[in-house]
Structure 1
Amino acid sequence: MTSNAASMELHVHPGETDLLIPLPGLQDLWDPHLIHTHYFGFSIPEAAIGGFVYIRYQPAFPLSQGGVCIFQGNDNVEFTDMAYLDYEITMPWPRIENNTITTDNGLRIEFVEPGVSARLTYTAPDGRLRMDLKADAVTPLLARGHVMPGEEEHHDLARKPGGSEQFMQVKGNLTLDGQAYDVDCFAPRDRSWRQVRVERRGAVASPPVGWSPMYFGPDLIFNQISFEPLDTNPRWAGLYDVGDRPSHHFAWVQRGDETRSITSVNRDVLEYHPRLHMATCQEITARDDRGEVYRFRGEAIACASIPSWPNASFRDSVYRWEDGEGRVSHCTYQEIWFDIYQRAMAERAAGPRV
């Protein structure tokens, strides 16, 4: 177990933060790397399908990027390997009317009740994909800070950066290339606002971090983001100096109506994808602030490269998790890293030079 526990007090954001998407005033100069985001995910485990729905706002310009990514199976190495991809890097600022956000490529997010309920709709111009999903909260709208360790050093605290995470029950329908699917899953959503996510090379030095939300029932909803501890013999060993900081920097567990902090996380990766390099089989042991210990084992049934952060390697996946009692959860597992790790893994996969 990681001995240095991350200090964390859990807070809840008001629902109106869902629509906190500010633009600079006429006399304001905002960092070009300051962003807001909205993320929603979903899965169809029986078809090994994962969905990544994302908007990234760049208010200094103002521009946006985002769209819908649908991936199936474990062989989505290139972005265009995905079953369906409509993700634009450069779009105008979305149209925001009342509680509804609509992007230039047709993704529509309606916050039916901010902080509680949202509807996601999208229809492909060529008819290949139709999506109509309703996401209803099953946990509080928990406050979350930065994503990457070290990223917080670049934030402008005067602008009050923030973020949130929440588990949703996602129901609806998806039609892909004429095949209709029912969607009924539990999946997280998250967002950031006024965070400075620097894209300059070398600005953030961190091993790969993995986000592993899980929903087993109202009595056990788990979430953590961490890098692999050095004592698990991770592939990043020798590439980074993490000092004595804990491997996790944000984690919580929901036990019915009670939200508890996680004080220690040990994430041990057992298998990696041969080309995507992400974890495809891993075990997690965690302890909460009441001393209760949790053990999970998971395996990827679908995974893909995702285009949202061009200066980093970003992977999304659908994981099949089991808890210590044998209960099963299907949920996203996401991992991100920068060029030092990617080059090292590519060289390792290539083998010794002759």
Structure 2
Amino acid sequence: MTAPTGRASLPSFGVDDDRLHAPGEKHSWTETSWWSFNVPERALAGWLYVQIRPHQNTTSGGAFVYDATSPLPWQLPFYAMFDHQRLPADFDLTHARLPSGVSVDCVEPGMVYDLGYRFRDETDFVASLRFDGLIPPFPYLSGTPPFSASSHFDQPGRLTGTLHLRGERIEVDCFSLRDRSWGPLPEHWGRGGRMSYAFATMDARNGLLAFCHPVGDDPFTDTESVTTGYLLMDGEVSRLTGGSRKSARDPVTRMVRTIDLELHDELGRTVHAHGEARSAMVLSRHRVTFNTLLEWTDSAGNVGWGEDQDLWPVALLADSARSRS
């Protein structure tokens, strides 16, 4: 694999970035470690999530598993979200055991990790996975939307291992994504902060990721412009310079049913990609996340899987519902 175009002008992911950083002055300083996985033939997917707020000496997070049965949190195959757990003493994110049940072990810095989940002695959901990065963690410029003052890296990878879900053993062998971030993370967004975060990994040499924001004065528009992201084509990864997103929604739930992306990168390459929703879950915190597993096809005919996080500030989502009533 070749290094990202323009890497010399971008931050790079170092060995110490797998560990916690010296926190900034803002009380909202947050570190996150997020991992996604999927089992395409079952339209099943999930997350392992770690959030740390060092100024509060707390950690939040947990595990979520969803399929095509229902997107509602209380009807998912598994849902466990914890808040305000005490950060363990001498915490090391390279060999982490979180009170939420998540475990992370760094095998090769920046590239290979062993992941696990088990909450105490409960067995409703138990996970044992290995993440092998396809490329080094991909950087973004601080100050580029949506990273106004934070550091963020995305990394596609292959995940292998097993899940035990309510007594059933499920094999995992998929391409998906992880991210790693640190910096201020506010908990109140007013009516600003709507955005989307879509990714697909077709195979070990092809994939995409696009951050998008709404276009124009209509806050409820389904047309968005690309702010940043990457294209991985034939093993070469490069930063996005622009593009567009058009979503079609379910008329009742307003959740994404299809997504069409047109993406342009620094190497002058263009990709069109079409995603079809296969399952989804809804997560509600300071923003509501409509998270969707999609089957993607790109303009070269590559087929793969990935997710979309369609994020709405609570107040704006309420406005949208009222506008249709």
- Taking structure 1 as the reference length, the TM-score comes to 0.81
- 2:195 matched to 1:199? no
Instruction: Provide Cα deviations, 1:314-345, integer angstroms capped at 9, x if missing partner.
Output: 12221111111332111121121113421123
Q: CA deviation at 1:294?
A: 0.7
Q: Which amino acid aligns with 1:17?
A: D
- 2:36 matched to 1:22? no
Q: CA deviation at 1:74?
A: 5.7
Partner Cα separation in structure 2 for residue 148 and residue 10 of structure 1: 12
Q: Which amino acid aligns with 1:268?
A: K
Q: CA deviation at 1:32?
A: 2.0
Partner Cα separation in structure 2 for residue 312 and residue 147 of structure 1: 21
- 2:174 matched to 1:185? yes
Gaps of 5+ in 1: 1-7, 156-160, 239-245
Contact 2:197 / 2:310 at 8 angstroms: preserved in 1? yes
Partner Cα separation in structure 1 for residue 42 and residue 126 of structure 2: 17
Q: CA deviation at 1:273?
A: 6.5
Residue 67 (structure 1) aligns with:
62
Partner Cα separation in structure 2 for residue 81 and residue 269 of structure 1: 25
Partner Cα separation in structure 2 for residue 97 and residue 57 of structure 1: 12
Identity %: 18
* 40 and 209 in structure 1: CA distance in 2 versus 1, 3 angstrom threshold: same
Partner Cα separation in structure 2 for residue 181 and residue 328 of structure 1: 23
- Taking structure 2 as the reference length, the TM-score comes to 0.88
Residue 236 (structure 1) aligns with:
220
Partner Cα separation in structure 2 for residue 69 and residue 318 of structure 1: 13
Residue 34 (structure 1) aligns with:
29
The structure 1 residue matched to 2:286, chosen from 311, 314, 325, is 311
Moved over 6 A (4+): none
1:326 aligns to what SS in structure 2? coil
* 215 and 150 in structure 1: CA distance in 2 versus 1, 3 angstrom threshold: closer
Aligned residue pairs: how many?
Answer: 316
Q: CA deviation at 1:10?
A: 4.8
Partner Cα separation in structure 1 for residue 319 and residue 196 of structure 2: 18
* 278 and 87 in structure 1: CA distance in 2 versus 1, 3 angstrom threshold: same
Instruction: Provide Cα deviations, 1:104-135, integer angstroms capped at 9, x if missing partner.
Output: 12211111112011111112433111110000
Q: CA deviation at 1:201?
A: 4.6
Q: CA deviation at 1:98?
A: 7.8
Contact 2:213 / 2:227 at 8 angstroms: preserved in 1? no
Contact 2:101 / 2:118 at 8 angstroms: preserved in 1? yes
The structure 1 residue matched to 2:239, chosen from 251, 261, 272, is 261
Partner Cα separation in structure 2 for residue 209 and residue 225 of structure 1: 7
For 1:148-297, list aligned pairs within 5 A.
149=145, 152=148, 155=149, 161-193=150-182, 195-202=183-190, 205-206=192-193, 208-230=194-216, 236-237=220-221, 247-272=225-250, 274-275=252-253, 277-297=254-274
For 1:108-127, list aligned pairs within 5 A.
108-124=103-119, 125-127=121-123
* 127 and 188 in structure 1: CA distance in 2 versus 1, 3 angstrom threshold: same
The higher-RCO structure (CA 8 Å, 6+ apart) is 1
CA RMSD, 1 decimal: 2.7
Contact 1:12 / 1:140 at 8 angstroms: preserved in 2? no
Gaps of 5+ in 2: 1-7
Instruction: Provide Cα deviations, 1:119-154, integer angstroms capped at 9, x if missing partner.
Output: 1111243311111000001012111356994661xx
